[in-house]
Amino acid sequence: MAEGTTYSSVFACPHCARPLAISASGAHCESGHSFDRAREGYFNLLIAGRVARSATPGDTAESLSARRRFLNAGWYEPIVTSLRDALGVVNGPVLDVGCGEGYYLSHIDAPAKFGLDISKKAVQMASKQYPESQFVVGTSFRLPVLNESCAAVFTVFAPHSFDEYKRVLQPGGTWVTVTPGPHHLVEMRPKRDEKILEREERRAAPPQESDDAERVQFTLHLTDEAAHDLYTMTPLQFQASSAEAVHHVREVSVDVWVSRSTLTTHVK
Ligand SMILES: C[S@@+](CC[C@H](N)C(=O)[O-])C[C@H]1O[C@@H](n2cnc3c(N)ncnc32)[C@H](O)[C@@H]1O
Ligand SMILES: [Zn+2]
């Protein structure tokens, strides 16, 4: 984008990919597709039928409130610090793919901030809490975002597509991902069966697509409330065969990769 550009939006029409003009009441493209602004301020850019409902099994209202309480209490602050360091100074629009209830985006400095998540409930919460950012419902595998429109894109613990990152990033733009390392929340896992050991092996290295990566590791000494929130907010609850035992864990390892790549050209 040229210098002096106003960053009204990076969003594209999910039907025809043309730019979306955004106003107080709604958004529309030149082909005549239009989208109402929801009461909380977000837009729903997910085309019905494109993604199965089962894509968001973890996003109950209960798990979202637990995540908001846990994150706002600062337990994952070292992850925020490392994410900010990896992004560096952001001079243009930043997009949080799989933004959840908006915590990480709210901690990033940028002239314009955009968040996307497939969960309507998450986007409602994000939009209500952080009106300075524009949120939309959409899928990370087919971002309703203009080509070469973002100075930075990032994802924390959510599905993402490196091809889509490359498409939406400006030349020289940066992407950052936060993904679990091999020992992430290991104490909360019910049992290290073969499947889990295989996954640990995969997580021993950062994503191949990254230029560099920092491994962030620390131990949480949780309060009862925080332990309950952490348990409720993670998809681990779907793996736990002995929920009772997991509830008593108070010392938990955090182990994540904060990985980054800066595009020089679109061919890597
Ligand atoms: C573990 S949560 C992380 C949320 C947030 N980044 C955070 O760390 O607090 C995973 C998020 O990915 C979202 N998600 C799952 N599939 C998605 C998809 N295909 N496109 C966009 N978001 C998706 C979920 O709705 C959920 O909010
Ligand atoms: Zn359109």
Instruction: Name which of 54-58, 178-182, 228-232, 253-257 the model is least confident about.
Output: 54-58
Q: Which ligand is nearest to the CA of 17?
A: 2
Tens digit of pLDDT for each residue in 101-145? 999 999 999 999 999 999 999 999 999 999 999 999 999 999 999
Instruction: Name which of 184-188, 196-200, 228-232, 237-241 the model is least confident about.
Output: 237-241
Q: Which ligand is nearest to the CA of 236?
A: 1
Quick check: 209 pLDDT over 90? Answer: yes
Tens digit of pLDDT for each residue in 5-39? 445 689 999 999 999 999 888 999 999 999 999 99
The answer to whether residues 250 and 231 touch, using CB atoms and an 8 Å cutoff, is no
Whether 166 is in a domain gets the answer: yes
CB of 8 sitting under 6 A from ligand 1: no
pLDDT at 125: 97
Interatomic CA distance for residues 169 and 95, integer angstroms: 10
Interatomic CA distance for residues 192 and 253, integer angstroms: 15
How far is the centre of ligand 2, averaged over its atoms, from the C-alpha of 169 (Å)? 21
Whether 205 is in a domain gets the answer: yes
Whether 241 is in a domain gets the answer: yes
DSSP for 196-245 reads HHHHHHHTTS--TT-SEEEEEEEEEE--HHHHHHHHHHSGGGGT-S-HHH
User: If pLDDT is split at 50, 70 and 90, which confidence band does 197 have?
Assistant: confident
Whether 232 is in a domain gets the answer: yes
Residues spanned by the domain of 129 = 21-47+57-262
pLDDT at 200: 83
**For the residues 159-168, what does the mean pLDDT come to?**
98
Q: Which atom of ligand 1 is nearest to the CA of 55?
A: 16
CB of 158 sitting under 6 A from ligand 1: yes
pLDDT at 246: 63
Residue 41: burial class (beta carbons within 10 Å; 0-12, 13-18, 19+): middle
User: If pLDDT is split at 50, 70 and 90, which confidence band does 77 have?
Assistant: very high
How far is the centre of ligand 1, averaged over its atoms, from the C-alpha of 16 (Å)? 25
DSSP 8: S
Whether 139 is in a domain gets the answer: yes
């799989």: which residue's tokens?
A: 98
How far is the centre of ligand 2, averaged over its atoms, from the C-alpha of 20 (Å)? 8
CB of 218 sitting under 6 A from ligand 1: no
Tens digit of pLDDT for each residue in 215-263? 999 999 999 999 999 988 887 655 555 556 566 789 999 999 999 999 9
Strand, coil or helix: what is 136?
Answer: strand
Whether 2 is in a domain gets the answer: no
pTM score, whole prediction: 0.93
Q: Which ligand is nearest to the CA of 29?
A: 2
Interatomic CA distance for residues 79 and 55, integer angstroms: 25
Mutational test site, ligand 1, from 75, 116, 140, 153, max ligand atoms within 8 Å of CB: 140
The CATH code of the domain that includes 170 is: 3.40.50.150
CB of 75 sitting under 6 A from ligand 1: no
The helix, strand and coil proportions of the chain, stated in percent and rounded to the nearest 5, come to: 30, 25, 45
Per the structure, the count of domains in the chain is 1
How far is the centre of ligand 2, averaged over its atoms, from the C-alpha of 110 (Å)? 27
Whether 7 is in a domain gets the answer: no
pLDDT at 10: 96
